[in-house]
Amino acid sequence: MSDAQSETRVAWFTAGVLGVFVLVLGAALGVLLVVRNHHADAGLTAREQAAVDAASREMINLQSFRLAHFDADFARASSGLTGDIANAFTSKKAALLDGLSKSKQDTAASVTQAGFEQGKGGTTALVLMTMNQYRVDAKGKKSLFGSGRFEVTVSNVGGKWLASNVTSVGLTS
């Protein structure tokens, strides 16, 4: 056998091995994608999304107060609470108003990320979120003064999702 024939056979053998490798790799990738998509969540249910929306809205309400409209803002924040947290929040009304009056600044908040963590039966859910808190001067200029991560428990009370517990979870500033 000549060197040219030997080189041709090696080239065809190498091409065959590479071809088989590509087919096996393609099949493995196909199986991986099918298995991964089989277990992927297509999205939140309407109930889960309602829980996330309610938790996000309530956390913004709990941290957004305008001195000129304090009573309305406090009532709005209180209306989204239930249980012990509602009682604890109500007991801090005077201290909150005093702090706002002394600082002569309003507060505002925004949810930067929120996600459904888990449901507990049909009436309670845990929502994780990250937030930014702002001070707002008389001209309406916002200044970031804090951020945090929270786990919010919401409970479905009479068809309305209400916050029943709030826990700070790591990395706050």
Rounded to whole angstroms, the Cα distance separating 82 from 155 reads 8
Helix pair 70-78, 93-103: axis angle to 10 deg: 140
User: What pLDDT was estimated at residue 10?
Assistant: 75
Q: Are 66 and 22 members of one domain?
A: no
- Would you place residue 111 in the very low, low, confident or very high pLDDT band (cuts 50, 70, 90)? very high
We report the CATH number of the domain holding residue 58 as 3.10.450.230
- For the cut 50, the answer to whether the pLDDT of residue 79 exceeds it is yes
Report, as an integer, the average pLDDT of 99-128. 91
Q: Are 34 and 72 members of one domain?
A: no
Residue-number span of the structural domain to which 34 is assigned:
1-40
- For the cut 90, the answer to whether the pLDDT of residue 117 exceeds it is no
Q: Between 13 and 169, whose confidence is greater?
A: 169
Residue 35 lies in a domain: yes
User: What pLDDT was estimated at residue 33?
Assistant: 58
Give 50's contacts (C-beta < 8 A, 6+ positions apart).
Answer: 161
Q: Are 58 and 3 members of one domain?
A: no
Domain count along the chain: 2
Q: Are 147 and 65 members of one domain?
A: yes
